[in-house]
Amino acid sequence: MAKPIPEGCHSITPYVMVKDAAAAIEFYKRAFGAEEVERMPGPGGKGVMHAEIKIGDSRIMLSDEFPGTGCSSPQTLGGTTCQLFLYVPDVDSAYQQAVSAGATATMPVADMFWGDRYGKLSDPFGHQWGLATHIEDVSHGELKKRAEEFFAQMAKRKTA
């Protein structure tokens, strides 16, 4: 009897559309140490109909855009509606590795009020990535206080 959630998968698995999935897979290998799990060619052997990669303990499914499926890449949309959030043991080195592989730095790595060291990147295919290393457990009360202080500082910057 088959398991309801396949071995190696979690309950939620991102499925992303890209232009040139084969190139995206190679980029994710260089940038994030991804391991290719599966790849199925598209119609007539062209493109990638479905692929799976593993980064850390999680999988991401991806494919090329195919007309009529209702799913478009960030490049076609001119933006993205989500961010992929990746926890890593050393965010500073992972961030630099991704930039060296061709990602665009959009927010430098810094210690954040919620207890993570965190930075943001954009990959060459238009997907946004948040990279983080958890550095501190923060209680709900302390998180609320820090968030209020953070947003008050941000408001002061906007008026300055």
Domain-located, residue 119: yes
Q: Is 16 exposed, middle or buried (0-12, 13-18, 19+ CB in 10 A)?
A: buried
Q: What residues make up the domain containing 82?
A: 15-159
State pLDDT tens for residues 7-35.
888 899 999 999 999 999 999 999 999 99
Domain-located, residue 88: yes
Domain-located, residue 47: yes
Domain-located, residue 2: no
For residue 152, what pLDDT band results from cuts at 50, 70 and 90? very high
- Give the Cα separation of 153 and 133 in Å (integer): 24
| Percentage of the chain lying above the pLDDT 90 cut | 84
Q: Quote the number of domains for the chain.
A: 1
For residue 158, what pLDDT band results from cuts at 50, 70 and 90? confident
Domain-located, residue 128: yes
Domain-located, residue 7: no
CATH number of the domain bearing residue 95: 3.10.180.10
For residue 67, what pLDDT band results from cuts at 50, 70 and 90? confident
State pLDDT tens for residues 28-57.
999 999 999 999 999 899 999 999 999 999
- Give the Cα separation of 160 and 158 in Å (integer): 6
pLDDT exceeds 80 at position 160:
no
Mean per-residue pLDDT over the chain, rounded: 95
Domain-located, residue 1: no
What pTM was estimated for this model as a whole? 0.90
